[in-house]
Structure 1
Amino acid sequence: MGGMSGSYNAVTWLLDRNVDEGRGAKLAFTDTVSELTYGDLQRQTRRAANMLRRLGVRREERVAMIMLDTVDFPSVFLGAIRAGIVPVPLNTLLTSEQYAYVLADCRARVLFISEALLPVVKDVIGRLPDLEHVVVSGRDAHGHKKLADELARESDTFATAATHPDEPAFWLYSSGSTGMPKGVRHLHSNLAATADTYARQVLGIRENDVCLSAAKLFFAYGLGNALTFPMSVGATTVLHSDRPTPAAMFGLMNKYNPTIFYGVPTLFAAMLNDETMKDARAGNRLRICTSAGEALPESVGNAWKARFGVDILDGVGSTELLHIFLSNAPGDIKYGCSGRPVPGYKVRLVNEAGVEVPDGEVGELLVDAPSAGEGYWNQRAKSRSTFEGHWTRTGDKYIRDADGRYTFCGRSDDMFKVSGIWVSPFEVESALITHPAVLEAAVVPEADPEGLLKPKAFVVLRADARTDDLHEVLKEHVKQKIGPWKYPRWIDVVDSLPKTATGKIQRFKLRDGAS
């Protein structure tokens, strides 16, 4: 896609091409209440583009989306892109103050919001000078504009904006395990870049696939899983607007028989451990699963394969790079590692001095990606330290083995040295959860009486766990698994671990509490 000249609008490739190729009557999205064929979606996106024009939004301006995963999401998201207007999908789990910050930061002219989420923003809407309209997806607009009515007023003919392939098409805010979110500007060419690389060459997505993603559309991971990838081949997506509980996922699997299920490690573990679902089937057409968000523990991958007969492709992606750039692949799976670079992506590992490290040494991962964002909005210093020309810094520490496979060691700010040797919190956590008593674990550094850092663990136990001598048993278990100096010197049993909306453990909150 690089160096393309002339005009290119992502919607022409993602959507109109499917209709031109004869898939107009094929089901594109269903959300258990409504469904849209590719032809319906084409008409809805044209109406949405006309509606945005009527509401006075011009090319390159932003509109925000705080929308649950229903068929209205692709209609609004792709409708804006069709008009050359920039949609900004936001995490549906933020607080009022976070919404106030992000809506002001992106200067959204229109807010599209699901009815159920209105209460969280009702007090901040009046404080946003750039926001002119609120459009509600749902039955009752509560005094605002109602999306269904607004769309119904419009014509379904619209001349798609002649955007440039290097022009921002949409923004995503990176959840940031710390601090306020940062707006990543993604280009029109970036969607196809993820489909041509990971979706086509690793996942092997095909036209007859039915996709189900636990990760929502507002996440970079979910957007690829449930919108870019299926639309790139004319496949079908099942959307789920509620929380992705094990019961909900198994229910959708039995009802819709997805062929691809996209999950995250905490959900795969919960689905395997949910006693009430122990006889649940993962549908009878499931052919592959993917995992991202954080590294998939080896024990979870093996248990899933044993129970359902289907592999999980563990991979690594980021909001900045839009989707997965390191991954296991069908026929090349090693549970416990992140696999190899996705075709089309180059990676390198460097030390603190920026020098490449040899196999077997820990380094920070840098990626040369065709799908990299062009930078953060209004955050020049952070853009410069993350997007370095061709290379994007991930902030993740990895180690590469002699076979060219990469294994996650931790976030650069989560790693710590014990007796002069780097310790990966993730490695200790993975060892802990292989013990039958432990459901989840998080590890942070804690200073001992001499002021030296040692691992401290927080564990969530399984319901049936025996707790006598637990501390000693777990310490010994970790020593046997990964080496004597890495065992947790302190172990706190807790009811739950702090997590981001994506299910990533927020170790910094445990660190702050620990120190």
Structure 2
Amino acid sequence: MSSPTRYAPCASPPPHRGRTAMNVSAHVDTFARDHLPPPEQWPELRFDLPELRYPERLNCAAELLDQQTDPERVAFRTAATTWTYGQLRARVDRLAHVLTADLGVVPGNRVLLRGPTSPWLATCWLAVLKAGAVAVTVLAQQRPQELTTMCEIARVRHALCDIRAVDDLAKAEIPGLRITPYGGDAPDDLLKRPAPGTPYPAVDTAADDVALIAFTSGTTGRPKGCVHFHRDVLATADTFSRHVLRPRPDDVFAGSPPLGFTFGLGGLVVFPLRAGASALLLEEAGPRQLLPAVAAHRVSVLFTAPTAYRAMLDQLDAHDVSSLRRCVSAGENLPAATWRAWRERTGVRIINGIGATELLHIFISAADEHIRPGTTGVPVPGWHARVVDEEGRERPDGEPGLLAVRGPVGCRYLADPRQGEYVRGGWNITGDTYVREEDGYFRYVARADDMIISAGYNIAGPEVEEALLRHPDVIEAAVVGRPDEARGHAVVAFAVLREGAARDTEALRAFVKGELAPYKCPREIVFLDALPRTATGKLQRFRLRTGETPSVPSTDRR
């Protein structure tokens, strides 16, 4: 392996609101940069720490791979094998050659990545970035209609897909999409295509060239593409990971979030590689799989949701978890009771945190003796946070309001008018209601919109409603979240059917599962004669959340 990439030093970029003159792009396909929000709609960006003073030219994949001078160190692990940093770099370089010389990918092209969590999916992500293209990683669970929408928004024409996840992608109506499978036996498989065995020189991307587009569903059903730069990827590692998590080269990372979630991308790829550590990449990583994996592979850093920590408490006696030294929780609020129970049983203090796809990873957190159970923590070094009212005025300590954040990464939606809703007055407004305590700690109160957070997944109620309404028998639908001990919140759907239609819960659930990822499917379906509305016709969601419905002829839980 060659020596780490060296860059000429550059002056620290000043804190700025909006966008200063951007660096000269390496992108041939400029679609992503051309469809960034206008400068006046950007949040203020802050680069307060010395480690955030990145050079003007930066390829984050090369930075993550080339920093390791020992090619024999383990980078990725699975249940059956290990990959060294030398092997990983050789495989990344080989795929980058295939992408550019064989598949015709040029810098700036968007490349969809789809498959279960594996070293090959991570390798594809690194190869796409090293080739100067833009990674669009999606969940293997997502259905054709969801995939079609995301590809339409991002103008995706190339896809690298695990052979086991090709069918739904092939069914999606995406004009001109070239799907290249990997992991199969066909001669045109990505891993079997001929390529030179020489190093691939990373494309000389600008630090503010687009590296990835991460999709999130907002309070409307249409997903939003969150655009992030090469410097943004490193900034997540150089703030939360470096200052709060503080990983070591001998750490073994593992966790449940897939790489299609930025929580998983950071925790299972970016953070371990930035630290020269290794990651155990599990295709199945539910509570039943995590504890045996921790014991078998001596996992020391674990990323998962509060739901999983609660579920694993009853299984701890059967597994050796003495290797754990860091446990990170995000995706939903971590109850103090769960924190205390995990601490009592394992001796490990869970590092709670809040992040957002718009901001790429965690920006409020605390570790070790700085943790206050029941709170999220304090702003991560490099980040600033406050609680404001609807007009952006700061709220007094102890009073709830909207969480406002700014730092080295900011929200930039791809060609989406909702940019102005998330960024106000130079701050990112996350959609969460928080209280800032007198000691400076931030305490979560609730979501400020109709997002349902269930078992660590963000589920937009309107998106599920739209799926229900695509059923020919459904004439009205409403979806809310109700408190659920196991999941935090459960998705509950209310449906009004056409006259004479059978109230068949199983058939309706099966239909929704065919339209959306399974985790979005309602746990409970309630059939009503009418939805509760005001005199002006506005839906009264609060009545649905509390169970105060006009009539409930039929209900079913799963």
Separation in structure 2 between the aligned mates of residue 39 and residue 313 of structure 1, nearest angstrom? 32
Provide closer, same or farther for how the CA distance between residues 398 and 282 of structure 1 changes in structure 2, counting only shifts above 3 A: farther
| 1:230 is aligned to 2:272 | yes
Separation in structure 1 between the aligned mates of residue 410 and residue 372 of structure 2, nearest angstrom? 27
In structure 1, runs of 5+ residues without a counterpart are: 416-424, 430-441, 445-454, 463-495
Provide closer, same or farther for how the CA distance between residues 252 and 456 of structure 1 changes in structure 2, counting only shifts above 3 A: closer
Aligned partner of 2:116: which letter?
A: L
Alignment match, 1:484: none
Aligned partner of 1:92: which letter?
A: A
Alignment match, 1:261: 302
Separation in structure 1 between the aligned mates of residue 13 and residue 82 of structure 2, nearest angstrom? 35
In 2, are the aligned partners of 1:203 and 1:330 still within 8 Å (CA)? no
Alignment match, 1:47: 94
Alignment match, 2:60: 10
Separation in structure 2 between the aligned mates of residue 333 and residue 502 of structure 1, nearest angstrom? 35
Separation in structure 2 between the aligned mates of residue 284 and residue 155 of structure 1, nearest angstrom? 41
Alignment of 1:294-313 (within 5 A): 294-313=332-351
Separation in structure 1 between the aligned mates of residue 336 and residue 486 of structure 2, nearest angstrom? 19
Runs of 4+ in 1 over 6 A off after TM superposition: 498-510
Q: Secondary structure at the match of 1:102?
A: helix
Q: Secondary structure at the match of 2:404?
A: strand
In 2, are the aligned partners of 1:107 and 1:130 still within 8 Å (CA)? no
Q: Report the CA distance between 1:507 and its aligned residue.
A: 11
Alignment match, 2:311: 270
How big is each residue's C-alpha offset from its partner over 1:11-43, in whole Å with a ceiling of 9 and x where there is no partner? 22211111xxx2211110112244321111111
Alignment match, 1:138: 183
Aligned partner of 2:444: which letter?
A: F
Which structure has the higher relative contact order (CA within 8 Å, separation 6+)?
Answer: 2
Q: Report the CA distance between 1:146 and its aligned residue.
A: 1.2
Alignment match, 2:397: 359
Aligned partner of 2:65: which letter?
A: L
Alignment of 1:153-172 (within 5 A): 153-172=195-214
Q: Secondary structure at the match of 1:169?
A: strand
Q: Secondary structure at the match of 2:128?
A: helix
Q: Report the CA distance between 1:385 and its aligned residue.
A: 2.4
Separation in structure 2 between the aligned mates of residue 158 and residue 107 of structure 1, nearest angstrom? 26
Alignment match, 1:198: 240
Separation in structure 2 between the aligned mates of residue 502 and residue 403 of structure 1, nearest angstrom? 41
Alignment match, 1:393: 429
Alignment match, 1:372: 410
Alpha carbon RMSD of aligned pairs, Å?
3.1
Q: Report the CA distance between 1:409 and its aligned residue.
A: 0.8
| 1:317 is aligned to 2:355 | yes
Alignment match, 1:108: 156
Alignment match, 1:119: 167
Separation in structure 2 between the aligned mates of residue 285 and residue 302 of structure 1, nearest angstrom? 19
Provide closer, same or farther for how the CA distance between residues 72 and 29 of structure 1 changes in structure 2, counting only shifts above 3 A: same
Alignment match, 2:249: 207
In 2, are the aligned partners of 1:177 and 1:506 still within 8 Å (CA)? no
In structure 2, runs of 5+ residues without a counterpart are: 1-11, 15-53, 462-479, 488-508, 527-540, 550-558
Provide closer, same or farther for how the CA distance between residues 252 and 370 of structure 1 changes in structure 2, counting only shifts above 3 A: same
In 1, are the aligned partners of 2:141 and 2:518 still within 8 Å (CA)? no
Q: Report the CA distance between 1:280 and its aligned residue.
A: 2.4
Separation in structure 2 between the aligned mates of residue 59 and residue 337 of structure 1, nearest angstrom? 43
Q: What TM-score, normalized by structure 1, do the two folds share?
A: 0.77
Q: What TM-score, normalized by structure 2, do the two folds share?
A: 0.72
Provide closer, same or farther for how the CA distance between residues 353 and 461 of structure 1 changes in structure 2, counting only shifts above 3 A: closer
Alignment match, 1:490: none
Q: Report the CA distance between 1:303 and its aligned residue.
A: 0.8
Separation in structure 2 between the aligned mates of residue 457 and residue 192 of structure 1, nearest angstrom? 37
Aligned-residue identity in percent: 32
Provide closer, same or farther for how the CA distance between residues 177 and 216 of structure 1 changes in structure 2, counting only shifts above 3 A: farther
